[in-house]
Amino acid sequence: MSTQDDRVAEFHRLHESGCFVMPNPWDVGSARALQGLGFAALATTSAGCAWTVGRQDSHVDLEPVLDHLRSVAAAVDVPVNADFEGGYAVEPEQVATHVRLAAATGIAGLSIEDATGDPAEPLHDIDLAVERIRAAREAIDAGGTGIVLTGRSEGFVVGRPDLEETVRRLRAYAEVGADCLYAPRIGTVDQIRTIVAAVAPKPVNLLINAPFITVAEAAELGVRRISVGGTLARTAWAGFLQAAQEIADAGTFSRFQQLPDIDALLGP
């Protein structure tokens, strides 16, 4: 298995040019399957992780998340980026402490978002949000791992779809050391084009959780990295729930056919 240094170096290389897809496994098995399909990097999903333990997104504590990151990173040879939510803290000093712990799990990168979880004030004040990214950057630099830091602005997720404010925040995160910028839930070509241009030459991550664009089209717009969040996990849940509902309602098993050979996919 490659070392963390190898995977961090490869992750940085992937961000230098072109466009790569970084799908989101939700456990060790799905991570190994995605690696087997040839993806060059993977990313965890806070939602997918939470659902595996019977919780809603953003309702898993730090220690179980660190255990999850260790397990996924150890199971594959490709770089793994951590969905680290808001750093599991508010104050920059505590975010830095938690980033150091995450960096020690074997991951190649992580993201820090600016959502508060408070519907009344869904985004951190921009000055605090910037200091949180700065603290994460300093923690990574001090630790010497060099993992890729992604700054996320959540306005389009939390009901504040203000493109100008999103751009302002992403530029500020880039200025204090974010290696990659990410505004989940933007959904138009014009929005993508605006963000890519605004933070250039820093790379941009695009979330694709609906069929509104292809990889080739995103690459043409200058997107460097694509992730899918919890959407692969939701597609798996959809198949499971549909089959289970048929059994519960009709007592039939019509979906138990043309199923994949999981053992063959995962190998020994």
For position 201, what pLDDT does the model report?
A: 97
**Residue 260 gets which letter from DSSP?**
-
Task: Please state, as a whole number, how many other Cβ atoms lie within 10 Å of the Cβ of residue 211.
Answer: 6
Distance between CA atoms of 189 and 15, rounded to whole angstroms?
21
Q: What is the pLDDT along the chain (268 residues), one digit of tens a residue?
A: 589 999 999 999 999 999 999 999 999 999 999 999 999 999 999 999 999 999 999 999 999 999 999 999 999 999 999 999 999 999 999 999 999 999 999 999 999 999 999 999 999 999 999 999 999 999 999 999 999 999 999 999 999 999 999 999 999 999 999 999 999 999 999 999 999 999 999 999 999 999 999 999 999 999 999 999 999 999 999 999 999 999 999 999 999 999 999 999 998 8
Taking CB atoms within 8 Å and a gap of at least 24, the contacts of 143-147 are 143/100, 143/103, 143/104, 145/4, 145/8, 145/103, 145/104, 146/5, 146/8, 146/9, 146/12, 147/8, 147/11, 147/103, 147/107, 147/108, 147/109, 147/110
Q: What pLDDT is stored for residue 268 in this prediction?
A: 81
**Residue 127 carries which side chain, given as an amino acid letter?**
D
Q: What is the pLDDT of residue 172?
A: 98
Q: How far apart are CA 56 and CA 70, in angstroms?
A: 21
Amino acid 2: pLDDT: 83
pLDDT in tens, 135-165: 999 999 999 999 999 999 999 999 999 999 9
Q: How far is CA 20 from the centre of its chain?
A: 14
Place of tokens 């399909």: 37
What pLDDT is stored for residue 1 in this prediction?
54
Spatial CB neighbours of 22, under 8 Å, sequence gap ≥ 6: 39, 40, 41, 42, 43, 81, 205, 225, 226, 227
**Cβ contact 148:181 at 8 Å:** no
- The residue with tokens 């880039």 is 174
